[in-house]
Structure 1
Amino acid sequence: MNLATNYLGLSLRNPLIVGASPFCDEVDGAQRLQDAGAAAIVMRSLFEEQIDHQQRTLSYLLDTSPGEIASGVREFFPSYADYPLSPNTYLEQLSHLKNTLKIPVIASLCGHRPGAWIDYARKLEQAGADAIELNLYHLITDPRMSGRQVEDEMLETVRDISGTVKIPVAAKLSPFHAAPAQFALELEKAGAKGVVLFNRFYQPDFDLQELEVHPQLKLSDSSELLLRLRWLAVISPHVKGSLSCTGGVHRAEDIIKALLAGASTVQVVSVLLKEGPRVLTQLLGGMRNWMTQRGYEDLNDLRGALNLKRCTNPEAHERANYIKVLQSRAI
């Protein structure tokens, strides 16, 4: 049975990718993921703010006297708890992973607007990254900023990074775009070789005792897959590049659904945090069983079979289905 797939021009042995997470912070841990069946790994994100902070720090050190540095150094440097991997250690870890693993290693940059931090993409390439996943995370709180402005900045960022490196660049999106399909096409024109659907915004909660706002991390579950399936199915007939599904993949059935919608790969994180590397082997086994029972010998035979163009009931992806569902239930 052939589970091989192509993602961003990279040949992968199967569609299972370990998404951006702390799993790659230790080489031994990444090795266990590879042995369990991971076809590629994405390093945790290196943030635009980290890189800009490092550059400001360097400028500060060059322009400040030794006495002043000693008195203010504790306040100036970021906490290691906030940034487990500094930009320099990130490059070192990337190099270690490449020297150890046989599967592709994808670096992750998190930013949204053009800036000097984009130059770091070249350093990631030089350190051995097989590709770059650009996490276009931007939560807009300024009411004066339009959606068009936000997307124009993102497109310019993708254009700059794609023009800086020779390795492929994938754009990771949130679901909060007015026209995701059209934006995916614009990203492709800007140089992106693939799109990752979707980023998860971590919602803060209110502490009623302390009257403070607290961040919280809630792991995904399979119910989150449905949003990804709809947009994978809508977008996949129109793009030439790769699509990757992230968020809500916990079972072999979830992987099959994402592939039927048009994904080339799926990314898993939450299920690994819950169950450990062994779950990768179980997911692959479940995929093989499903394909065997239905007579599939090649992954490519089922990819996109239920997307908007190929499914027998395209209205199920569109507004007509919304009306039908609401009219068929007592709400």
Structure 2
Amino acid sequence: MNLSTTYLGLRLRSPFIVGASPFCENVGAARQLQDAGAGAIVMRSLFEEQIDAEEKALIHHMETPADSNPEATSYFPQFAEYQLSPDRYLRQLEELKRALSIPVIGSLNGARPGGWTDYARRFESAGADAIELNLYQLITDAEMAGDEVEADMVETVRQVAASVRIPVSVKISPFHTSPAHFASMLEYAGAAGIVLFNRFYQPDFNIEEMEASPQLALSDRSELLLRLRWLAILSPQLRGSLAATGGVHTTSDVVKAILAGAHTVQLVSVLLRHGPRFITTLANGLREWLVEHGYENIDQLRGAMSHRRCPDPAAFERANYIRILQTWKI
């Protein structure tokens, strides 16, 4: 059974993409993922703040004589929290391209237009097959309107997409007033695909130290439901590719995502729990399901449960919401 699919114009041997994660920092681990059946891999994100901080530190160092202060070495930023410096990121990308035969996707994480987007061209020069632009932004300023936020994001996508010849996908959050309209605007700005959705990591409170503490929680299957809804809504309306990320842990999860309209699924949490070889388990399960249900390939399956089959998707969602609430009884 052929599991190949097209994503961002790239022909992948399977719909299983390893999402942005620590896996790609080790060439040996990346090879294991490829051997297990991964169709492509996404590198860990390079952050807007990280790039800007390094550039500001370099300017400061060049403009300040080394012997002007005995503490001159302290001018350099501390990058202990970043696993890869910008230069090391590019070298790792080159190493992965030499070692692997599957596509390698670079990841840029930011939201506002700025000089950091120049790294898209550097990704391309280093051999990246595509770029995943992660638009992660939490607005706390009550003076900033939603349309301003989205306008900045759309302009960022436009700048990045216009600067490279390789395809650009955009990873978004579900927290937009009209995700369908926003996704259409991103596509108009040059995005070749949309990744649904970014996972926001919520901080907890340490009530003894009186401080907020970051919490890392792996995804679970319940998170897939939100992705399925929007995949089903967006797939009939967009021309580009769609990827589901978050909540894909079993063969049935993969099937559901494709039925809703996904071209690929991104895997991270399930691989951190079970290891690279779990991709083989998922691939074998998908093949068996397709054969049992009479499908010759996943293209025949894609979008079979999208909202294209519903004349009024908004009414359908409203009806579903009301019906669920009416099932509660005391």
Which TM-score band (shorter chain)? over 0.9
Runs of 4+ in 1 over 3 A off after TM superposition: 311-317
Partners of 1:149 and 1:70 in 2: how far apart? Answer: 45
Partners of 1:171 and 1:311 in 2: how far apart? Answer: 27
Partners of 1:306 and 1:205 in 2: how far apart? Answer: 38
Equivalent residue letter for 2:60:
Y
Match of 1:173 in 2: 172
CA contact (8 A) 2:61 2:75 kept: no
Equivalent residue letter for 2:18:
V
Deviation at 1:69, TM superposition (A): 6.7
Match of 1:297 in 2: 296
Aligned to 1:195, the other structure's residue is in SS state strand
Mark the CA change 1:323 to 1:159 in structure 2 (over 3 Å): closer, same or farther.
Answer: same
Q: Tell me, which stretches of 5 or more residues in structure 2 are unaligned?
A: none
1:51-102 Cα offsets, whole Å, 9 max, x none, are 111111211121010124761323532232x111000000000000001100
Q: Given the two structures, how large is their TM-score scaled by the length of structure 2?
A: 0.97
Mark the CA change 1:10 to 1:327 in structure 2 (over 3 Å): closer, same or farther.
Answer: same
Match of 2:16 in 1: 16
Equivalent residue letter for 1:21:
S
1:181-221 Cα offsets, whole Å, 9 max, x none, are 11111000000000000000000001122221100100000
Report how many residues are paired.
Answer: 330
Q: Report matched runs for 1:129-140 at 5 Å.
A: 129-140=128-139
CA contact (8 A) 1:158 1:187 kept: yes
CA contact (8 A) 1:61 1:69 kept: no
1:126-151 Cα offsets, whole Å, 9 max, x none, are 00000000000001111111110100
Is the aligned partner of 1:327 residue 2:326? yes
Aligned to 2:299, the other structure's residue is in SS state helix
Q: Given the two structures, how large is their TM-score scaled by the length of structure 1?
A: 0.97
Q: Report matched runs for 1:1-331 at 5 Å.
A: 1-68=1-68, 71-74=71-74, 76-80=76-80, 82-310=81-309, 318-330=317-329
Partners of 2:131 and 2:106 in 1: how far apart? Answer: 5
Partners of 1:6 and 1:263 in 2: how far apart? Answer: 11
Give RMSD over aligned pairs: 1.5
Q: Tell me, which stretches of 5 or more residues in structure 1 are unaligned?
A: none
CA contact (8 A) 2:61 2:76 kept: no
CA contact (8 A) 2:27 2:96 kept: yes
Equivalent residue letter for 1:71:
E
Equivalent residue letter for 1:56:
K
CA contact (8 A) 1:230 1:317 kept: no
